[in-house]
Amino acid sequence: MAVYKTIMYSVGPGSVLLWMLLWGADCDTQPQAEEVELFSSDKQLTLGWRSEPLNLWNEIKLPFVTGGPVLQACVKRGQRSVLSKWIERRDAHHLLMDISIAQEEESSGELSPLKVHLFDTDNAITRFLNGQTVLDLQNSKLFSNSDPPSSIPKHLNRSLSLNLGPVTRRGFQLAFSYTGECVFIASIRLYYRACPDIVSNLTSFVKTGAHSGPVLGHCVEGAVESSPPVRECDMDGVWRSQQGVCSCERGHEEMDNTCKACRIGYYKSTNGRGKCQLCPPNTRTTKEGSENCECLKGFSRLPSDPHDLGCSKTSKHFRVEEKHPTA
């Protein structure tokens, strides 16, 4: 394996860049699901991850491979692990990983998997602890001892959207362990999907990490809750259908997912789905968003009369029903 050990390059200080990428969802009624990147080795100059035992995992540059440092564990056989730095969880509930690896064939013919471990932790751990294996990765197309380093990129197998499972603490750390002959990890990308900001059914929901559990929405301006509006963001970053209802309050009607105030001359006396109604005979409104219409000057109705009843001419001694409405 000496040939692989000789292709190590020195690397400078790195910086963590967080990127948000759009991810193509096939649902046309909802904005597209988003991917929120938490870590990408391609955007690092150096990883500085901890090898146990020391120096059995190294950072190298591979010929013809662009991007960040490549991790290799080709110095010596036996159990060896590499532990990432602590990464903030942000709004992730479920982690996904894209990864490229190349594995060397084993003389025994039986290939050891590259084990992936996840530590869900509030504070950085400094040493690799056994257990919590979330994935076993195994390539089918292997390189051999006699292949030159320049052929390694051809053996890189890129797997997308591997599920690393739930995370709940302030952050997490990733680790790999290997017992096989020689392995290269060329690219590691950690991210989560998110449901984007959305307004529908007169309710707004803010961007939420996939697999969120129930999230409470807010009624848009002019709307009130009939029952608390709740949605869940599913695994793919797509909002599930809404439970609970927002509807337009008094003096407002629904139009294009907003609540519009009733125009002058119109009224709506109840919360709910209805439309603004034209004021009944001999009544009027003086402002937009009216809940009911008042009688024109010289007309009246009893306080007990329903809102949709018009007003009639006021007489000193008795009320006369208006026969020929003028409105």
Ligand X SMILES: *[C@@H]1O[C@H](CO)[C@@H](O)[C@H](O)[C@H]1NC(C)=O
Q: How many CB atoms lie within 10 A of CB 33?
A: 22
Q: Does 271 bind ligand X (CB under 6 A)?
A: no
Nearest to 230 by CA among 243, 239, 247, 220: 243
Closest residue to ligand X in the complex (CB):
139
- Residue 79: count of CB within 10 angstroms of its CB: 14
* Sign, CA torsion 215/216/222/227: positive
- Residue 272: count other Cβ atoms within 10 Å of its Cβ: 14
Helix (H) or strand (E) holding 3: helix 2-5
Closest CB to ligand X among 98 and 301? 98
Q: How far apart are CA 250 and CA 223, in angstroms?
A: 9
**Nearer CB in complex with ligand X: 196/280:** 196
Interface residue with ligand X among 30, 79, 157, 179 (CB under 6 A) is 157
Nearer Cβ to ligand X (137/190) = 137
Residue closer to ligand X, measured from CB, 138 or 179: 138
Q: How does DSSP classify residue 98?
A: E
CB closer to ligand X out of 200 and 269: 200
Where does this chain touch ligand X (CB under 6 A) — which range of 60-68, 137-145, 164-172, 207-215? 137-145
- Least separation in angstroms between residue 136's CB and ligand X is 8
Stretch that binds ligand X, among 64-72, 133-141, 304-312, 314-322 (CB under 6 A): 133-141
Tokens of 242: 């809404």
Q: Which of residues 194-223 bind ligand X (CB under 6 A)?
A: 200-201
Q: Is residue 58 within the footprint of ligand X (CB under 6 A)?
A: no
- Binding segment for ligand X among 10-18, 138-146, 187-195, 280-288 (CB under 6 A)? 138-146
| Binding span for ligand X by CB under 6 A among 14-22, 135-143, 191-199, 297-305 | 135-143
Residues contacting ligand X: total by CB under 6 A: 11
Contacts of 115 (CB under 8 A, 6+ apart): 133, 135, 136, 137, 176, 177, 178
* One of 159, 161, 163, 270 touching ligand X (CB under 6 A): 159
Q: Which residues contact 84 (CB under 8 A, 6 or more apart)?
A: 39, 47, 49, 173, 174, 175
**For ligand X, which is the closer residue by CB, 133 or 168?**
133
3-state secondary structure of 153: helix
Tokens of 47: 């990883």
Site for ligand X in 227-246 (CB under 6 A): 242, 245
Query: What is the distance, to the nearest Å, from the Cα of residue 220 to the centroid of all Cα atoms in its chain?
Result: 22
Instruction: Choose the binding region for ligand X from 53-61, 74-82, 132-140, 177-185 (rule: CB under 6 A).
Output: 132-140
**What stretch of H or E contains 189?**
strand 183-195
Among 139, 208, 212, 285, binds ligand X (CB under 6 A): 139
Taking the complex as a whole, how short is the minimal distance between the CB of residue 278 and ligand X, in angstroms? 27
User: How far apart are CB 284 and ligand X at their closest, in Å?
Assistant: 34
Q: What does the block give as tokens for 233?
A: 């963001």
Q: Are 71 and 184 contacting, i.e. CB atoms less than 8 angstroms apart?
A: yes
138 sits near ligand X (criterion: CB under 6 A): yes
Binding interface with ligand X (CB under 6 A): 137-141, 157, 159, 200-201, 242, 245
